[in-house]
Amino acid sequence: MKNGVIFAMLSSLIFSVMNALVKEVSSTIPSSEVAFFRGLIGTVIIWFMMRHSEVAFSRRGISMLVLRGVLGALYLIAYFYTISKIPLTDASILAHLSPIFVIIMSAIFLKENISGKIALILPIIFIGALLLVKPFDYSSYSVYAFVGVLSAMLGQLYLTKAFTHEKAVVVEVTRYIGIVYNAMRGFLFWGEVPGIVTIAGGVLIVAGCMALSRVEPA
């Protein structure tokens, strides 16, 4: 098995463990506090890694780094809040909507063209998202699911190490195994069983995002 695939699978496994732990502690600790300590511990680990590799702090693009940090913090809070309120499988699927927001924002802010193939795929993904969010069957679940969509828009899951070892298409496909990990943990620890609508929405989103990863840039 190639390194990129291994890194992608390990990344998905580690994230699924983190998600399960977040869901477990969310009944007693606010999502913002969980996100704070997750960020604090991550910062300390990265600082030691930078010291070990003798990497200096960048002095350029500070404003964009701060903006990225703020958006990343908001993403974590929104995602952890979603995990605490809806089944792990649903939250995990919604988090994988991030690629479509990258495409939409690139078109709006960077004036990049959306090819005909991408334009045909995006409605499929949106339909899958609607099935999960259930906007026409309004309830508190719909609100929590919408926060999950918001978390996907605020930040992408970065698999930098994996992408440096393997083709992007292979890594994109492999990382969806994280949904399986989360579904297993949700069933084992909280008795969560995905319904038909969730499965249908998940299939549309995953299939659509996998198709997007195969489309050549315009």
134: alpha, beta or left? (left if phi > 0; alpha if psi -120 to 50): left
Torsion of CA 12, 16, 19, 25, to 10 degrees: -150
Note the pLDDT tens digit of each residue in 42-85: 888 888 988 888 888 878 888 888 887 888 888 888 888 888 88
Place of tokens 């099935």: 131
How many whole angstroms separate alpha carbon 66 and alpha carbon 84? 27
- Per-residue b/e over 175-198, b at no fewer than 16 CB within 10 Å? bbbbbebbbebbeeeeebebeeeb
Answering whether pTM is above 0.95, one says no
How many whole angstroms separate alpha carbon 108 and alpha carbon 103? 9
Note the pLDDT tens digit of each residue in 156-168: 444 444 445 445 5
Note the pLDDT tens digit of each residue in 172-197: 556 677 788 888 888 888 888 888 88
Contacts of 24 (CB under 8 A, 6+ apart): 189
